[in-house]
Amino acid sequence: MNYKEGLQPIIGNNPRILILGSLPGDESLRKQEYYGNPKNMFWDVMNGILGEPVPVQYAKKVDYLKRHGIALWDVLHVAERAGSLDANIRNGEFNDIERLISENPSIAVIATNGGEAEKSFRKYLRRHPSIIGHRICYCKSTSPMVLCSGWNLDKLIEQWREIL
């Protein structure tokens, strides 16, 4: 099994929302871009909830998130994983989310993207209860795998609006 290391956080000035994934997939790691797999619906969901088209270039996507007060990171810093499926994640090590939040007191909402991110974040919260005072939203995954469970882009956008 391969050890995979996540990406650095995207964080602008005074972010209000922190979105946490589990660990970037292979395509995202190859590109060094969050949600770099074109089949992932994350950027379509952002377009839907923010009502503003998402730029094509990654650097402009990063600016787009910062402008809207959204920070992006992952619950896990490193883990063993064959392929990109979250179900294959083993022996994960947490990012220092508590430090990121303490350095950015403007963060009021923490949202997880998908079931593995939620499960890992709940474990993290048991070790770091100081974060519990924040509003936490557990959102359905924007991965294309979610389509197999009867979800579609419109349902995702409706659910993800709760982070606003």
Domain extents for the chain? 3-163
Choosing from 13, 14, 40, 47, which is the catalytic residue? Answer: 40
Q: Which residue has the tokens 């650097």?
A: 59
Structure tokens at 32: 């060094």
Q: Is 152 a catalytic residue?
A: no
The H or E element containing residue 4 is strand 3-5
Q: CA-to-CA distance for 68 and 74, rounded, in angstroms?
A: 19
The H or E element containing residue 137 is strand 135-139
| pLDDT (tens place) for every residue of the chain, 164 residues total | 688 999 999 999 999 999 999 999 999 999 999 999 999 999 999 999 999 999 999 999 999 999 999 999 999 999 988 888 777 788 999 999 999 999 999 999 999 999 999 999 999 999 998 888 899 999 999 998 898 888 999 999 999 999 99
Classify domain 3-163 at the CATH superfamily level.
Answer: Uracil-DNA glycosylase-like domain (3.40.470.10)
Instruction: Report which residue type is found at 28.
Output: S
Its pTM stands at 0.95
